[in-house]
Amino acid sequence: MTRARYQAGCITLRKRAKGPDIWQFRWWELDEHRCRIQRSKIVGTIEQLPTRRDAQRAADALRLEVNAELPNDVPITVATLIDRYLNDNLEMDRLAFATRKSYTTYLNHWVRPKWGQHTLRQVRTMAVEQWLRDLPLAPRTKVNMRGTMHVLFECAGRWELLGNNPITRVRQVGSRLSEPDILTAGEFQALLKELKEERTRTMVVLAGCLGLSRSEFTGLKWGDFDWTTGTLAVQRAVVHNRVGDTKTQARRKPVPLADELVRVLKEWHKHAPLPERLRLVVR
C-alpha cells in the first residue's frame, strides 16, 4: 500500500490513569484511495521529556522518519539529523560501544550547540573548518570530531536529505602537540627491577611486550593463550566495564609470543589463585 505522508503534525500531552503522562505525536496520511488516516506514536513520558520543547525536538526526528518519502518539504536542522541518527538502531548497532559513546559525546556536547539550529544546507565547508580550527581541543580530538560529522552527513545523503557532504572537503591536521615518551629497552628493564609484586610485574611485562590497546589488554583471558603454538588470540575488548568485540577483525589475528614471555606467563598461571584463573589475566 502506497501512502502520501504529510509533514504537518502536532504534539499533545496525554493523561494516563497509571504512570507518568505521555507526549504523543499525531499526523495524517493519505491511503491509496486518497482518504485521510490519522496516525500517532508515543514520543516519550513527561519524565523523559519534561518540557514541550523537549518533546518537540524528539518529535522532529520522528517527523523526519515519517516523511522519508518527502524529505525536502521542510528544511531539516542539524539537531533533527543528530536525533534521527542517534536513535537509528541500524546505525548504532554497527558501532562498537566505545565508538557509539564517543559519537554521542561529540554530537551532543560540541556539534549540537554550534550547528544544531542550522539547516543542513547552511553548513558550509569553510565555516566548519574554521570552527574546528578555533576549538580548544587537541588535534587528534578535532580529527575525531571531523570524522563524526562526516559520518553524520553521510547518513543525511543516504536518507536523501542532502546531495553533497560538506564535511568531505574539510581539512583537519591531527599532528601531536608533543611526542610520546617511549621507554627504551634499558628504561623498561629498570622499571621491572623496581616491581617486586609478581602480579603487577607480570602485568607490566605483558603490556610492554604485546602492544595491545588498553581495551584489548583488559579483556584478556587465560583461554586466549595457546601454549602449544606460543600464540595469543585477541577475542574481545572491555570499555567502561562492557565486554564487546575488538575494533576491527584484523585485531583478532594471532599474536606470536616470545619464549621468555611464555615462561613468565606460565609461572604466573601456576601460582595465581584459582578464582583468578577463571577471570581476566590482568585482574
3-state secondary structure 42-110: EEEECCCCCCHHHHHHHHHHHHHHHCCCCCCCCCCEHHHHHHHHHCCHHHHHCCCHHHHHHHHHHHHHH
Class level of CATH domain 185-277 = mainly alpha
Section 13-32 average pLDDT: 80
Q: Does residue 278 carry a pLDDT above 70? A: no
In CATH terms, the superfamily for domain 75-180 is Tyrosine recombinase, N-terminal domain (1.10.150.130)
Q: Does residue 61 carry a pLDDT above 80? A: no
Q: Does residue 78 carry a pLDDT above 90? A: yes
Section 202-230 average pLDDT: 88
Q: Tell me where in the chain the CATH 1.10.443.10 domain(s) lie.
A: 185-277
Section 84-112 average pLDDT: 89
Section 196-210 average pLDDT: 89
For residues 171 and 209, is the Cβ–Cβ distance under 8 A? no
Characterize the bridge pairing of strands 4-14 and 22-30: antiparallel
How large is the C-alpha radius of gyration of the chain?
26
Q: Does residue 75 carry a pLDDT above 80? A: no
Most confident of 1-15, 85-99, 104-118, 223-237: 104-118
For residues 204 and 162, is the Cβ–Cβ distance under 8 A? no
Neighbours of 32 (CB within 10 A): 9
Q: Tell me where in the chain the CATH 1.10.150.130 domain(s) lie.
A: 75-180
Q: Which residue has the cell 598461571?
A: 269
